[in-house]
Every structure is written in structure tokens, then in C-alpha cells.
Structure 1
Amino acid sequence: MATLLITGSALAQDVPFFGLYGTPGLIDMPSADMAPDATLSTSMSHFAGTTRSTITFQVAPRLTASFRYTAIKELYLRGWDQDTYYDRSFDVRYQLLTETDRRPAVAIGLQDFIGTGLYGGEYIVASKNITPRLRLTGGLGWGRLGSYGSFATTGTRPNEVIGEGGIPTYDRWFRGDVAAFGGVAYKMTDRLTLKAEYSSDAYDDEQKSGNTNPSGTTYGPVFDRKSPWNFGIDYRLRSGAQLSLYSLYGSEIGALLTLHANPRQSSYPSGTEPAPLPIAPRSAKAKTDLGWQNDTDVVNSLPVRMRKSLEGQGLRYEGMQVTATSATLRLGNARYGDEPEAIGRAARAMSRILPGSVETFVIVPVVKGMEMSAITLNRSDLERLENAPADQMLARMGIQDGLRRAPALEGGIQQRLNWSISPYMQLSVFDPDNPVRYDLGIRAKARYQLSPNWVLSGSLAKKLNGNLDSVTRAIPSGLPRVRTDYAQYSREGDPALEYLTLAHYGRPGQNLYSRVTMGYLEAMYAGVSGEILWKPVNSRLALGAELNWVRPRDFDQMFGLRSRVTSSGTIPEFNGHVSAYYAFGNGFHGQLDVGSYLAGDLGATVSLDREFANGWRVGAYATFTDANIDDFGEGSFDKGIRVTIPFGWALGKPARQSNTINIQSLTRDGGARLNVNERLYESVRDYHQPELAREWGRFWR
């Protein structure tokens, strides 16, 4: 699993120490501790031939979620025919009680609750500081955590490892033998902590002797568990990273590295962009002077001066309409990921250039020729509240649908052509034959705006190194091969025309937005994709519909098309979805897509993301369709997590670009959706009231 975090020393005093499972814990047992809200952690641990790589996210102050990928050498289960056994697992924990002077923190957790069940276990655990340096932890465990020293039972628990995995193991939760675990942590210094732990995990599967692989070779246990006691040393680096060394089960030595980051924190808290121009206050006389309307030189100079001022701020002047008391600005923003910052800088420029009698400013952000909204600001409010908290200005802002509110485009399209050349990396993870495959190369992208609403774009990639094309065995599938031929695309597509499309964006009516994209839509499919979105500017809810007609592309990813008939079925011509989007608040965004997928399976995708004001986003999704589990194959259904890191956060200067890392459970044919570029919702919501309000703190920046 690739490390995707940047550490920060500000976290060092607040993040609890993590254990071998990559979650807050003692050593191999959990604790009731929680990291600060929104902490994103990457851990890698190793002992006794077992390597665990874990991503943990503090979803909310009391809720933690984790994804883990484990490699165990010489463990043979359910006919495994490789020297290393690979396992994926998901964890979740919830803190029932926070710690006070009189009571401990108490948490309840599910370990490997969606997976094969190899690490399946549940627990209730309490942690409490006895002194400022001494912390005690104790709990009760089920499953793996109830397999050693059990003293009671809560019913019958299935104990076999699930063949395909991916199914919630609800029939096992808090069932079976119950055992106690616990330990102590003593803080020697602010950075160094000593730990001792009693483990209730018997490691039954790893203790089996006489393991025989399909080739007939017999192996002993993975390791010899001689004692339930573990001991360790945790050390915190200045960067906030954790290094740990452990003595485990009386026979093994283990180590752990954990890196932390928090999307709310940045290496550049204030940014490095130039400061904005100050508001230019008016005199009492200027407010009532209308004589400028009769001065042709003044009137003609306003667009020229406004264009120059906005360009100095990295914004695009696209048109302006001015009356005696109001001005409406058509604005393009290709720089600022925090949209209120672009609006605030445009308003400052208007205050410095427009005559004093102009009291009302209307700013209409335009994206791909579509008016996003019409934001109304009173000039006197700008003058009065420039040094006040931004929320006071937010309370005075008005916002309406921008349909037909934007002035006409002046002077033609600026920056018709945009292009870039950059490196790229394409990942495929969790293949049992090779858990990490990749391609590295160079990508050239170009975008040409034919008119305000028509965009021609394309991408050409040349592979320099990688092994995505080294998959030799046929991936089993009972569905049409809509994605599982990815190795052949990598093998033959070098160089590859990743996409070449012509897209039209429009406003067919009030609260409505549209997109039609045609051409080579993505690496594997060509065709036509149409979308319509209903999104009122003040609403948290949006509804959309998309219909696609597609044909599979030739494996060389050039201009040819191939038959829809594959070795396991025929790819349907049409697919599409109806979608609902909802902003829950506090940065949480939900999405539900219901419809037909590329392989013709019918079902729904549920997504939940948490987005931060600086553009960071962490989320997860799961797709459930009518495809039979046996047809889908290993993993049972499509699911994954994704992390979006904005360039502006890392560089400390404004940027609208970002990089998204998708960690998909497995590449399978079920639940596969078309990867068409620039769907509507993400662009539209940025300039609507819920998102503007969340980011409004940057208005005066």
C-alpha cells in the first residue's frame, strides 16, 4: 500500500499511539483512544512473516474506520496456492464514552467485519489515565480476540475463513467465546512510551502445524506462540511519525511505522499567494455623483481596467454590465480552489474601479459557459465589514440562480488552449499473484475551448515502466468482460489515446444543467454520454440522470472499436443511472446512483465523502447489483476508498487541480461504471450556497 501522507508535528501531542493493526491500541490489542477528528494515518507493521498495511481515518470525533491489507508467508487456507497469503479487511470502532476525571473512555469495535473473517473479532474496551504518565487499558474480546483464555460464551460462532470475502460477517458479531485482554502504557518522556500487554488472540490459524500447499510441500506453524505477553517501546519523531519496536508472544520481534496527517492542517496555513488589494472606500460626494455616465472615456475605460485588475489576481474578466447604481460581472476562475476567495478578490477589484454611485455588485461565476449563480454584494457592506469576521459578510450576501444573469462574453474566449505534460502512475492493487502492479509514464493533456459551451479535450500517454501488462492468468468472471481485460489494454496500448472528446455544457432551464460528451470517452470505451442535473443554488439536494451509449475500444487504445461480444458475455450498448446528491453538513457529502452498469447488471452505488474547506476529501463507496456473487468473483461486490489531495494544500498557493488516489478492493466486472470526464455535480455545487458558506472564511483572503 503506497504511503500517501505528509506528517505534521502539530499532531504529535494529540494523536494516540497505534498498534500492530494500524489503529489506536496497545501493541496487538485495541484501546479506547481516538485520534483528533479528521486524522488520516498510514501504518505498516511486520512480525513473524506477517506484514499489515493499514489506512485509518477519524471519520468523526468518536468514529474511526480502517482498511487493512495483510500478507502472511507460508499460510495456506482454502486451497491457497501461493507462498504468501493475502487478506483484505475493514474495521470500524465507536467511542461510547469519552474520558473524564472519574470515568474511562469506552469504545466498541468490529475488526475485519467486511472480509474473509481471518482477523474477525469484536471488542468492548476501556482506557483511563491513572496518573499523567500511566494509562491502563482493559477489554473483552470475541472472535480472534476471544480465542485465548476464554471464560464465557455468548453462543455459537462460525469460525471458517470465508472463501470470496467482502460480505459483512454479521452472523458472527459478538458471538462465541469471550476473553479478557489488557495492558499498561507508561510515558517515560513526551516522546518515549513503554508498554506491556496481555493478549487474548491465540493465533489459531497461524499455529496450525502440517500446513500443506497444493504442490505438496508441508510447512510448520507461521510462528510459535509461547506466551500471551507482549512488550514494546513507542517513540514519537518530531514530525509526528511513530516508530515502535516490540517483543511478541515470547518468540518474535516486531516493528511498526505510522505516519499521520490532518486535512485541517497545512504546511502553509495562510497560503503564499500575494495579498489582495484593499477595498477602496468612497467619499460621500462620490456616492451621489452620476456625471461619469456622460464621460465616454470613463465608461469605455471600465472594462479595460477591470480586465487588467482581475488578470493581476489570476482571474478572468469575461464581461460586465454597468448602470448608475449596479454592476454585473461575468467571472472566470481557473486559479482559486476556494471559490469565496475568487469572489472576494473580484469584489475588491470592483470597489477600486467602478464609479462611486455603483452600490450593488452582482458577480456571476461562469464554468464551461454555464452561469453557476448570481452573487449579490452591497458595496457599503464591503467597505464597512472589510476587517470584520467573514461570516458577517456572508449574512449580507444574496445568491440566486445565475441563469441568463451573466453579461455577454466580451472580447472572445481567453486562453482557448490549455495543455500540460506530466508524469503519471496507474495502480492495480490486491491481485493475489502480485498485490501491487503499476505503470509509470508521461501524459500529455490538452483542452481547447471552441466556444463558451463547447470543449474539445484529449489525453495521450506513453508508458515508460511498469507491470500492469504482466497479468497472464485469466481473471475469472461470469459477466461480460467490461473491466477485467485491463492487462491487455496496458500491454497493447503504448502509446495510448486515453480519451478524445467533444463536450457541450448548457443551462436548459431554471435550476437545470446539462452535459453531452461524445468521442473516445475513456481508455476502454467510446460513444456518447448525456447528463442532466437539477440543483437549486440554496439547496443541499441535487438530482441527476445520465444515459450512455458505448462501444468497447480496441486494446491498442487508438481509433478502432471492437466487438461487444466477449468470452463471458455481450457488453450492452446502453447504461446509465439516476442519482441523488446531498450535502449533510460539516463537509459530509452523500451520493446514491441507481441504474444499469457496464456489464448490464442492475443495482446501486452508495458513496459517502468528507470534504474539508481546503479541498481535502476522504471517502468510501460500495456498489450492490443483481450480479451473482459467483459471477462477480473474489470480493463479492465492488467497493473502495478514495483520498483527494488538493495541489493548493501541498504547495501553499492557489490551485484548482487535485490528485485522487483510489484504493479499489479488486478490479472486477460487476458494478463497473463509465469513467467519463467532468460530470456536472462537482463543478456546479462549488458556486452554490452550501459550499460557498462552508468555505466563506477565505472571502477576505
Structure 2
Amino acid sequence: MLRYLNAFLWVCVCWFALWCSAPAQAGDEPFNGPANWGGTGLLETPTARVMPEGKFRVGFSQVDPYRRYYGAVSPLKGLELDGKVTEFLGVTANPNSSPDWEGYGNDKDKSFDLKHQFLAEGKYRPAVALGIMDPHGTRKFPSQYLVMSKQIYPFDFTLGFGNGRYGKNPLPAQGEGFRVEILSDPRSWLEDSQFFGGIEFAPSERFSFILEYSPIRYEKQTGDSAQAKYFQEPVPSKWNIGLRWKPVDWAEIDVSWQRGEQLGVNLSTSFDLGKPLVPIYDHPWREKPEFRSDPLAERLIRALYASGFRDIGIEASGDELRVEAANDRYFYTPAAVEVALRVLAQIVPPEFTTLRLTLTDRGIPLVALTALREDVCLFHQEKLTANQLYALSDGLKTDINETLAAEKHYRRYFDYGLKPEFQTFLNDPSGFFKYRAGVSGWLSLTPWRGGSFIAGLQGFPLNTVSSSNEPLSKPVRTDNVPYMEKNVSLSMLMAEQIRKFDGEIYGRLSAGMLEVQYGGIDGEIARPFLGGRLMLGLSGSVVKKRDEDDPLKFKEDDWKDTYTTAFVNARLNIPRLESAIDIKYGRFLAGDRGTRITLSRFFNGLELSAWYSWTDTDGFSDSHNRGYHDKGIAVTIPLRLFKGSDSRTVYKYSLSPWTRDVAQDIDHHTSLFDFIGRNTGIYLDKDWRN
């Protein structure tokens, strides 16, 4: 032990000597590869390095007896979040020898960590980060640490100090809620913590070598499921070595020798969130010579339809030409406006001095812009920039509620959508990983402004969902397994009316079979304030459970006849960070009252979200729901990232426990906050400039 301590002190002395004596190449790359658990680090220990903002990483690692499946993301500059599932090889999960757990296999643990690099590396100062590992639940791998890293290229030196996993003693489980000893009890954190560190040497951007000192006392980590079977004695060595290789920019392979006895492998891939895999390009429209003698309205309608618009109306009023159209292609509204203006510039004759363009959705006017024809033509000829045209126009207006009386051409009465589906059912005693994969689709008829009739169908040719759990005391979601077990189901059959009132007040009323498990009536009102920085609204529903076997009937023998929800909703948009905070306060499906907060981050169409709830769970008599906080993550993926051309289509996927009834709401086909989306003053101005 003394030999290891002397060696580590020698590393520390060298580290400080190099830090004080030499200039540095500031920055985290290329020393921001994944540690065993997926967060940026060496092998068993973290560094102060983080992934670049907007980077996402997924991977797999195995160092017996641990097998990990992980994902990590940097939603904001300097902040890194990672989540993982750890499988303890050879350690069977079977609490109380229950037969319900026979199909579960090896014990497994879910956990998440965060790291904030609050001081970036400078010429002479190191990068410094605070990390919080596994602060919630069973806390099998908890720690809080401070770590600093200094790059003297091609070397990167790290020294850290942490408790828990890296400390002298294990930390207790937490259950619901969070425990962070470095904040709640800094004295005990300081007394329990130990040093860790290492060196990474990168002679090339494609590969590097790692030497690491890990202070983990495996034999004392009694919260670790592997300890009792594998770590009765201290491990042979606290020194680890590894080779990190990047054969291509988006993939990494790590091979290591850890604890003096185990070969380790770590495979990962990373990519930039929101960056199209195929460059987005839409061919600009050009009018064919044989059409130039056609009537003006006919030429405009044909050109706008070919450019990605529907529900097109044309109306002349003196020297002003008014055009109304529904954007059917472009993800960003300013992009649609720009395309339409370029079309108008090529066709509209000089007798019209003013052009007014209104964009609609389901016949509801969302955005309008008025500009001089001369300015639009100069913009099309690239004699004015987009920002100059915007300054000369009256800007994109959202406080509009009038539509043209003119006949609409290429009217979209019918619409449809298809979505690849992959839904997971995690941590059931009968098997940790259950899933169903298939496709869902919907068809809608819009016979009048804002009104739709919608039918949805979903099919799952691959479906392994089942459960040995019984529904809990107030089942609103824990009894959904019979619905999930079906390979084909009618997901919705409903009518929906959306209306925009004066003062930018939106209303929605939906009725019918609203989702797979519930049917009834659902309503909502919403309004943006402060140019869209804030949205406020009210919503509520009265629903019944659907019959599992007859898609057009309601359940008769349910524990409760009807379920009611009522919420006050708010969304705070933060355009500078491309982030939003959603708050839903009120009564949830099971009657529990409280709040759900959702944090979202937007990356060029792709959106990451995470939510957490606080509700009064005293009404539940079972221990699983009482004191529980509903939580989950979601991602919204735009089709435009893969298509090679623009598209408004997005796919939303979420991951959360299906085995709780706390803070549950019905699924909504349309949310008014999302219907309004970025069509508010603050975002329209930003998107136009960008």
C-alpha cells in the first residue's frame, strides 16, 4: 500500500510541476472519451473534461463483474449528464426467493450522474468540475467529487477528490428524493473522501494511452450487488492502464487492464444533436416558360403548391396582393415565409406595390408578414439580406385572426402520419427488458377550420410485454399491461376542434377514444405572453377506461367509474439557451394533487426533455406509489435530420416507469403549447435572423 501511495504522490508532484511551468493547449478534446460508466473520464475515475455542448454518446462496456449500457449528453456548455444500466454478472436477482423473479436474470441497477465544469481550462489554470454520481434510489455507485484536469499536450493530467465510491466508506441508499452529501454534510464528505487521478497521453488524435490510480475499496462497497460474491478481499491493484482508439470520428474502442486482474472493453459512438445526417436541400422553384401566360392567380397557386404549400388562397385589394397558405414542408416558419416570398417576387407584377402573406395550420392563421413588393424583389435578387428585408417589413405578426374569403386551392381535407414505434417496459420481475416494436399511424379529416376527425391504429409484430405484477391500490397505469400486450389496437377515434380567438387566445376540445387506455372529453385553453417568453393555460379532462377487448366500449368493472384531471399549465421559454421549463400543477388521474416540472433543450429541431413530479401520495395505500415521484425522459426527433430535405414531421419517444400511478395524465394528440410552438414573436425573430 505504501508503494502505491508513494507512486501516486509522485504523480501529483509531477502534475503540479508541469502545471506551474508550461503553457497549455486549452480545451477538453481529445481527452473527453468515456469512462467505464459512459461519463467522460479515464477508466474507473472521472476527469474535469466534458463533451462539447450538443454532443450525445451511447455505448457498452464490460469489466467483470460489471456490464454497462449507457448514454451521455451535454445539453448546455460545461454540463454533462449520463445514465446507465449496470448488470451484475453472475449475481442473480431474486428478492425474498420470490418465484415472480425467475425470469429476471442477473441483478441490474439504473442510475444517472451529472458533472458541471464550472471553470474551463485556461493557459495556466486547470479545468475544474463538480460531479454528482447516483444521488437517487438504491445508490449502488454514489459519489460526489471535485476534480481538475490540466492539458499539456499531448498529456492530460487529472487529480480528484471524492467520497462514496471513491471514498473510505459506502454511502447509504436514498429511495425517493436525492441525497448529495457534499452539500448537505460537507464535513462528512471531506472526512470520507480520497484522492484519485491519472494521466492520458495522446500522441495522435486517433489513439491515446491511459494510466490511472483508482482508490475504490471494493471490499467495503456493501451497497454494490457484486461485493458479497466477488470482493471479499481488496483487489490486487489500484492502478489501471488502457488504450483508447478512435478509428473514425464518431466511434471509439477502449481496451484496458483494471484492478490488476480484469480485461476491460468499452465501445461507444457519439454524434452532434440536431446535425443532419444528410444535408438539407430543397430545390428552389423556377417557373416553366409555357406557364408564364397563365392568369396570375393560377400561376401563384401552382408555384406555391410546388414549393410545399397547401390550402392556398389569393385575393387582390387595390394595390395590395394577399396570399394565404398552409406550410406543408418547412420546419421553421421563417424558412417557409422566405420560400413563399421568393415565389411571389418572380410572379407578382409591378401593379401590386404591397404583398401580405399569411400562413395557416388547419385553417387557423398563425403568422402574417406585410412587405413592399420592391423590397421582396430586391431580396430575391440578393440585393437585400433577409435581415434587411425583415427590418423594412412590418415583421412577423402573430396577433391575427382573419382569413381570406377567397376559395382555397389544393385544400388538404385528409392528412395522415406514420411513426416507427419502439416502446420499452423495464424492470418487471418477470424480465428486466420487455419491449414492443412496430408502427403507429393516424388518419384525419379536416372539414372546416380547426376541426378534425382522427382515427389511429398501431401494430406491434414484435411484442414481449408481460408482467407478473398486480395492479396497485389506485391503478390508473399499473393496469395497462392488457392494453400493451395486444399486437394490434385502435389507438384513438376522436373529434378535435381548435380555435384561435382574438388576443391570441387558443382553445381546444377533444372527445372520443383519446388514447389506448382512456376515452372521454379533454379540453384546454392557452395564450402566449411577453412575445412568447411565457405561455399560460388551463386544461382538464373527464375520462373512462376503455375495454381491453372491445375498442369501441368502455370498461364496466373498473375500480372507479370516471377519472377527472384539472391543471394550470405554464411554459417559460428561454430563447438564448434554446430551453424551456414546463410546469403542470393540479389534479392528476389517480386524484393525487401536485406539480410536474419538465425541462427541455432544443437542438435544431431535436428536443431532449426530462420531467420530475411532486404530488400528494397519501391517498395511495401501497408502498410502491406512496412517496413516489414520477420521472422520465423524452426525445423528439425531426425527420429532416435523415431525409435530405425539409420536413415538419417529428417523432416523439419517451422512457419512464410503467409500474406507478403517481402524477399520471392522459396522452394528448394535440397540446396547445406545442401547437403554438415557435410561432411567437421572440422565436420568430430569432429564427428569421438565424
**Interval containing the TM-score (normalised by the shorter chain):** 0.7 to 0.9
Among candidates 399, 423, 428, match of residue 426 of structure 1: 423
More displaced 10-residue stretch of structure 1: 448-457 or 596-605: 448-457
Among candidates 141, 144, 147, match of residue 168 of structure 2: 147
Q: CA RMSD in A?
A: 3.0
TM value normalised by structure 1: 0.85
| Residue-pair matches, total | 644
Query: Are residues 1:125 and 2:147 paired?
Result: yes
Distance in 1 (alpha carbons) for counterparts of 2:627 and 2:90: 22
Query: 1:602 aligns to what?
Result: 593
Find the residue that maps to 1:400 and give its secondary structure. Answer: coil
Seen in structure 2, the aligned counterparts of structure 1 residues 409 and 531 have a Cα distance that, compared at 3 Å, is farther
Find the residue that maps to 1:382 and give its secondary structure. Answer: helix
Displacement of 1:591 in angstroms is 0.8
Seen in structure 2, the aligned counterparts of structure 1 residues 57 and 223 have a Cα distance that, compared at 3 Å, is farther
Q: Give a deviation string over 1:219-250, Cα, whole Å, max 9, x none.
A: 55499722111111111121421111111111
Displacement of 1:556 in angstroms is 2.5
Distance in 1 (alpha carbons) for counterparts of 2:677 and 2:420: 30
Give yes or no for contact 2:358–2:368 (8 Å, CA) kept in 1.
yes
Query: What pairs with 1:515-526 in structure 2 (closer than 5 Å)?
Result: 515-526=508-519
Displacement of 1:409 in angstroms is 5.4
Find the residue that maps to 1:565 and give its secondary structure. Answer: coil
Counterpart AA for 2:119: L
Counterpart AA for 2:240: N
Give yes or no for contact 1:325–1:357 (8 Å, CA) kept in 2.
yes
Find the residue that maps to 2:523 and give its secondary structure. Answer: strand
Displacement of 1:646 in angstroms is 0.7
Query: Are residues 1:512 and 2:514 paired?
Result: no
Displacement of 1:273 in angstroms is 1.9
Displacement of 1:658 in angstroms is 1.6
Query: What pairs with 1:195-210 in structure 2 (closer than 5 Å)?
Result: 195-204=210-219
Query: 1:485 aligns to what?
Result: 479
Counterpart AA for 1:234: R
Counterpart AA for 1:692: L
Query: Are residues 1:54 and 2:56 paired?
Result: no
Give yes or no for contact 1:524–1:557 (8 Å, CA) kept in 2.
no
Q: Give the unaligned 5+ runs of structure 2.
A: 1-26
Query: 1:258 aligns to what?
Result: 268
Give yes or no for contact 1:307–1:317 (8 Å, CA) kept in 2.
no
Among candidates 470, 474, 496, match of residue 470 of structure 2: 474
Among candidates 541, 557, 565, match of residue 548 of structure 1: 541
Q: Give a deviation string over 1:617-674, Cα, whole Å, max 9, x none.
A: 1121111111149644499311111122111011221111122221214541101111
Displacement of 1:324 in angstroms is 3.1
Find the residue that maps to 2:532 and give its secondary structure. Answer: coil
Distance in 2 (alpha carbons) for counterparts of 1:246 and 1:578: 53
Displacement of 1:304 in angstroms is 1.6
Find the residue that maps to 2:53 and give its secondary structure. Answer: coil
Distance in 2 (alpha carbons) for counterparts of 1:265 and 1:496: 35
Displacement of 1:78 in angstroms is 10
Q: Give a deviation string over 1:35-81, Cα, whole Å, max 9, x none.
A: 11111111221111312222211121111122222221344799475
Seen in structure 2, the aligned counterparts of structure 1 residues 181 and 171 have a Cα distance that, compared at 3 Å, is closer
Find the residue that maps to 1:23 and give its secondary structure. Answer: coil
More displaced 10-residue stretch of structure 1: 656-665 or 377-386: 377-386
Query: What pairs with 1:253-652 in structure 2 (closer than 5 Å)?
Result: 253-269=263-279, 271-276=280-285, 301-386=295-380, 387=382, 389-397=385-393, 398-408=395-405, 410-411=407-408, 414-419=411-416, 423-468=420-465, 470-474=466-470, 477-478=472-473, 480-491=474-485, 493-536=486-529, 538-556=531-549, 558-563=551-556, 565-566=558-559, 570=560, 572-585=562-575, 586-612=577-603, 614-628=604-618, 631-633=623-625, 636-652=628-644
Distance in 2 (alpha carbons) for counterparts of 1:367 and 1:52: 45
Give yes or no for contact 1:329–1:406 (8 Å, CA) kept in 2.
no
Displacement of 1:412 in angstroms is 6.5
Query: 1:66 aligns to what?
Result: 82
Structure with larger RCO (C-alpha < 8 A, sep 6+): 1
Seen in structure 2, the aligned counterparts of structure 1 residues 489 and 666 have a Cα distance that, compared at 3 Å, is closer
Distance in 2 (alpha carbons) for counterparts of 1:339 and 1:548: 31
Displacement of 1:385 in angstroms is 4.0
Seen in structure 2, the aligned counterparts of structure 1 residues 696 and 429 have a Cα distance that, compared at 3 Å, is farther
Query: 1:184 aligns to what?
Result: 199
Give yes or no for contact 2:421–2:440 (8 Å, CA) kept in 1.
yes
Give yes or no for contact 1:481–1:571 (8 Å, CA) kept in 2.
no
Displacement of 1:334 in angstroms is 1.7
Find the residue that maps to 1:125 and give its secondary structure. Answer: strand
Q: Among all aligned residue pairs of Structure 1 and Structure 2, give the percentage whose two residues are the same amino acid.
A: 23
Distance in 1 (alpha carbons) for counterparts of 2:657 and 2:224: 31
Distance in 2 (alpha carbons) for counterparts of 1:202 and 1:195: 21
Give yes or no for contact 1:108–1:124 (8 Å, CA) kept in 2.
yes
Give yes or no for contact 2:88–2:226 (8 Å, CA) kept in 1.
no
Displacement of 1:115 in angstroms is 2.9
Give yes or no for contact 2:437–2:460 (8 Å, CA) kept in 1.
yes
Give yes or no for contact 2:285–2:306 (8 Å, CA) kept in 1.
no
Query: Are residues 1:104 and 2:126 paired?
Result: yes
Give yes or no for contact 2:274–2:641 (8 Å, CA) kept in 1.
no
Query: 1:194 aligns to what?
Result: 209
Q: Give the unaligned 5+ runs of structure 1.
A: 1-10, 149-157, 213-217, 279-297
Counterpart AA for 2:124: R
Counterpart AA for 1:565: D
More displaced 10-residue stretch of structure 1: 521-530 or 500-509: 500-509
Distance in 1 (alpha carbons) for counterparts of 2:283 and 2:225: 68
Displacement of 1:540 in angstroms is 1.3
Counterpart AA for 2:275: Q
Distance in 1 (alpha carbons) for counterparts of 2:225 and 2:267: 33
Query: 1:293 aligns to what?
Result: none
Find the residue that maps to 2:305 and give its secondary structure. Answer: helix
Query: 2:8 aligns to what?
Result: none
Displacement of 1:510 in angstroms is 1.6
Displacement of 1:573 in angstroms is 2.6
Displacement of 1:423 in angstroms is 4.8
Give yes or no for contact 1:365–1:687 (8 Å, CA) kept in 2.
no
Counterpart AA for 2:411: Q
Seen in structure 2, the aligned counterparts of structure 1 residues 647 and 421 have a Cα distance that, compared at 3 Å, is closer
Give yes or no for contact 1:583–1:589 (8 Å, CA) kept in 2.
yes
Query: 2:679 aligns to what?
Result: 687
Q: Give a deviation string over 1:281-310, Cα, whole Å, max 9, x none.
A: xxxxxxxxxxxxxxxxx9993322211010
More displaced 10-residue stretch of structure 1: 175-184 or 369-378: 369-378
Seen in structure 2, the aligned counterparts of structure 1 residues 210 and 607 have a Cα distance that, compared at 3 Å, is closer
Query: Are residues 1:38 and 2:32 paired?
Result: no
Distance in 2 (alpha carbons) for counterparts of 1:317 and 1:489: 38
Seen in structure 2, the aligned counterparts of structure 1 residues 626 and 448 have a Cα distance that, compared at 3 Å, is same
Displacement of 1:171 in angstroms is 5.0
Q: Give a deviation string over 1:184-223, Cα, whole Å, max 9, x none.
A: 00113221110010012213466799999xxxxx955499
Give yes or no for contact 2:617–2:626 (8 Å, CA) kept in 1.
no
Displacement of 1:348 in angstroms is 1.3
Displacement of 1:84 in angstroms is 2.0
Displacement of 1:529 in angstroms is 0.6
Distance in 2 (alpha carbons) for counterparts of 1:380 and 1:78: 76
Distance in 1 (alpha carbons) for counterparts of 2:321 and 2:225: 82
